[in-house]
Amino acid sequence: MLGATRPLIFRAVMTRGLRQIALGLLCGAVLCIPAAWTFMRVTEHSWLRVDTFDASTYCIAAVILLLVSLSAMFLPAVRATQVNPMRALRTD
């Protein structure tokens, strides 16, 4: 991104990561329904009854994954803003 400012670079790195996080959460939401149904069928005759379709559990897990992912992306985004443009152009 030639001529980009530091906030623009930070925003671009975070946006790219957020797209991947959103795709992962979407795939996880789609795949959790068959997995929960299978788990419910396996534990059907167990002495421990588990409610596998509890929406609050899925929402809490998604928020935790989102926060962990954002915190993991923050440091690389800050480092990307501190790169000297001339040095980066010379190495490419």
Three-point CA angle 62, 67, 72, nearest 5°: 125
d(CA 51, CA 63): 20
For the chain, how many structural domains are there in total? 1
Residue 88: inside a domain, yes or no? no
d(CA 73, CA 88): 20
pLDDT at 17: 92
Containing structural domain, residue 71: 7-83
Residue whose token pair is 């800050």: 78
pLDDT at 15: 94
**Angle, to 10 degrees, between the axis of helix 6-42 and the axis of helix 55-81?**
150
Residue 40: inside a domain, yes or no? yes
* Residue pLDDT tens, the chain, 92 long: 667 888 898 999 999 999 999 999 999 989 988 988 888 888 888 887 767 777 888 899 999 999 999 999 999 999 988 887 777 777 76
